[in-house]
Structure 1
Amino acid sequence: MSNVPVPTVLLSRYFSHLKMNNWSSATIARRDYVLTKFIAWSSERGIDSVIEFTPELLAAYRRWLYHYRSERTGKPLKFCTQASYLKTVCGWCQWLTEQGWIGADPSTKVEVPKQEQRLPSSHLSIDEVEMLLSSVDLTTPTGLRDRAILELLYATGMRRGELIKLQLDDINHESGLAIIRQGKGRKDRVVPTGKRALEWLCKYLHDGRPTLVDEDTQVIFLTSRGNVFHPVNLSQLVKSYLTAAGITKPGSCHMLRHTAATLMLEGGADLRSIQTLLGHEQLNTTQIYTHVSINRLRDVHDKTHPGAKDRPPQSDPNKPDDKPTE
């Protein structure tokens, strides 16, 4: 144990282990961000070796996460963020123990905070979706591209990262299906595009994309410089159209994903189908949409609840007569 490498070296070995086990680059990048900050936090407290990782140190780290406030906003970390950070550190500690770098896993007694069951972010009504789509200038190649992006996000409910990676061969124009390769969890899935979205996609591919292509690439959606979209830039693009349409609800690409799921559920879709469309691994992730499908609940309430309908008031024998005495 006296020759234990410094934490950063072991961290590099840990990421090599994850890569060998086919973990996604996005997951590794997130863990790199969290664990690099944890190492810096530990170093500030005089901890320069993993053999000094103790239950007391991790308990102090959990307290620090709880009391941390953003320098920019002054707000605390959300409990889901705290839980994510702690789970990442615990995962690394478990690996260090399995590899023999530390004698006992210091994370076994770490209590991860419970996560809130939050509703999804805002979703659009059908009228708001049409307002959004009609706000695009269709006289330019980028306008055709943007209309196809909005249509596809709305029709398929795919994530922004999934849309960014779409390639020409991923669209089957005959069947109207799109193959989403290596989505969340590195899983492929097939989703219907819908007739309207496919028509706008074809128009973009025929009249818009050829003017944007700067080099040989199979990626469908390109920036005005012919590059692949960065996720932040795509979110900003969608947000700009929401603003132009006069929609002030918070959200961007993910709001269109929520919109697709919510409107389908209100239209009668079953949860299993929505789960497949969105690529959720667990059904309980999809079930949260039942809480925002208020129109269906309102209809059921109006039809079945005895207090929902207008009825003539019943006389109460214990209530004094309001008629004035003569």
Structure 2
Amino acid sequence: MLKDRDLVKTLTADAILARVDFFLSTLAQDRSQATVNTYRKALEIFELWVLEQGGDVELSQENLEKFPVYLKTERHVSHATIQTYLTAVRQFFVFLVRERLLQENPAKNIRVKPQPRPLGRGILTEDEIKRLFEVSEGRDPIRLRDRAILCCMLRKGLSETEITKCNYENLERTLMGEELNIRGENRRIVPLDRRTYESLRAYLATRRQPIPPKDPLFQSLGTREKYERLKVRTVRSRMRRLLDLAMITRVEVSPQSLSHTAIYLMIQQGIPKDALKEQIGPYRFYHRVNDLKSRGLIDPSY
């Protein structure tokens, strides 16, 4: 058997297809369905790459290192997704070795250089903000939800995590106006401007009524996790989509830039330090304010 494995020098698309289902079935024994689905997609793309190489590839690290290059240049996959797909491919080869179909894992040392991170999150310009709101317009439930999330992040400074943790009961109407009562380690009140509140009401009107108080404020509308609480990665993906539609491609701009821009604008509009600290929380206050000061974007005396 070992001698036969020594002779295996190439991998064909047919060989991948013949073993993927068995690999995924074993994976499903101790991994979530979401992980299995991600690995399935990664291996489908890997199989497609093999087909584009003529139907078989040489099992060498040098040759397999062309796969992440293909993901980046041909499929325009993000750095994080490339890492995920490589993990799936490496685990597939581990499985082939364990099943005595290969002697060693040719992909075990394939790595992608870490993507350099900008010194700070980019702050959006007035024109970029205008374009974001323009591309977020629409009347279907997903567009209304995404626009409400955009308003909460870009106008009120909510983080991706806070978006996912808010429940319907956190949306309150008081004598002072509408607000989000965010409960956590540091309970805080976020007053809502009219535009943000109206975007929330427009989205919530598409939900099945009445909405239970403990239901998430923002629900998934995808087929796999419909009506479940949104995950951070989904919020990030949806906001990334809006940035792409608005043609905002600066490397320093990311979905996190939305809440950072909101904090910057609130300072520019003259919000007192104590009010800002209460609204965004003390940790984020010191972290974001010090970052903005170090980059020369706000008055050092603030």
- TM bracket (short chain): 0.5 to 0.7
Question: Which letter does structure 2 place at the counterpart of 1:241?
Answer: L
1:283 to partner: Cα distance: 5.7
Q: CA deviation at 1:162?
A: 0.9
Residue aligned with 1:142, SS: helix
In the alignment, is the contact (CA less than 8 A) between 2:121 and 2:254 conserved in 1?
Answer: no
The aligned residue for residue 201 of structure 1 is 200
Deviation at 1:236, TM superposition (A): 0.6
TM-score (norm 1): 0.50
Change (3 A) 1:74 1:284: same
Other-structure match for 2:181? 179
Gaps of 5+ in 1: 1-69, 79-117, 298-326
**SS of alignment partner, residue 199 of structure 2:** helix
Judging changes above 3 Å, is the alpha-carbon distance between structure 1 residues 295 and 237 closer, same or farther for their aligned structure 2 residues? same
Q: Does 1:230 align with 2:231?
A: yes
Q: CA deviation at 1:218?
A: 1.4
> Could you tell me whether the CA contact under 8 Å between 2:169 and 2:214 is conserved in 1?
no
Aligned to 2:218: 221
Query: 2-side partners of 1:283 and 1:139: how far apart?
Result: 35
Q: Is the 8 A contact 1:177 1:190 kept in 2?
A: yes
SS in 1 for 2:292: helix
Does residue 133 of structure 1 match 2:130?
A: no
Q: Which residue of 2 aligns with 1:72?
A: 111
Within a 5 Å distance, the mapping from 1:50-61 to structure 2 comes to none
Q: Distance in 1 between matches of 2:137 and 2:227?
A: 19
Q: Deviation per CA, 1:208-266, whole angstroms, max 9, x where unpaired?
A: 2239x8x9961111111212111111101100000001111344432111101111222
Q: Distance in 2 between matches of 1:253 and 1:75?
A: 19
Distance between the aligned counterparts of 1:125 and 1:229, measured in 2? 28
- How far apart, in 2, do the equivalents of 1:242 and 1:136 lie? 10
Amino acid corresponding to residue 278 of structure 1 in structure 2: I
Percent of matched pairs sharing the same residue: 23
| Partner amino acid, structure 1, of 2:290 | Q
Counterpart position of 2:243? 242
Change in CA separation of 1:179 and 1:119 when aligned onto 2, cut-off 3 Å:
farther
User: In structure 1, how many angstroms separate the alpha carbons of the residues matched to 2:152 and 2:284?
Assistant: 24
> SS where residue 178 of structure 1 aligns?
strand
Paired residue for 1:272, among 274, 282, 298?
A: 274
Aligned-pair distance for 1:267?
A: 2.1
Bigger radius of gyration among the two = 1
Whether contact under 8 Å (2:220, 2:227) holds in the other structure is yes
Question: What is the CA–CA distance in structure 1 between the aligned matches of 2:166 and 2:193, rounded to whole Å?
Answer: 16
In structure 1, what is the equivalent of residue 62 of structure 2?
Answer: none
The 1:161–1:282 alpha-carbon spacing in structure 2 relative to 1, beyond 3 Å, is closer
Flag the 1:147–1:77 CA change in 2: closer, same or farther, 3 A.
closer
Q: Secondary structure at the match of 2:208?
A: helix
> Kindly tell me: are residues 230 and 251 of structure 1, through their superposed partners in 2, closer, same or farther at Cα, counting changes over 3 Å?
farther
Separation (CA, whole Å) in 2 of partners of 1:77 and 1:144: 34
Give the whole-Å Cα distance in 2 for the aligned partners of 1:122 and 1:260.
12
Q: Which runs of 5+ in 2 are unaligned?
A: 1-108
Q: Which residue of 2 aligns with 1:189?
A: 188
Partner SS state of residue 209, structure 1 = coil
Q: Cα offset for 1:287?
A: 2.8
Counterparts of 1:260 and 1:73 in 2: how far apart (Å)? 33
Q: Distance in 1 between matches of 2:115 and 2:169?
A: 44
- The whole-number CA distance in structure 2 between the counterparts of 1:268 and 1:255 is 20
Which residue does 1:210 correspond to in 2?
208
Give the 3 Å change call, closer, same or farther, for CA 283–218 of structure 1 in structure 2.
closer
Amino acid at match of 1:232: R
**Alignment CA distance shift 1:282-1:153 (3 Å):** closer
The total of aligned residue pairs comes to 183
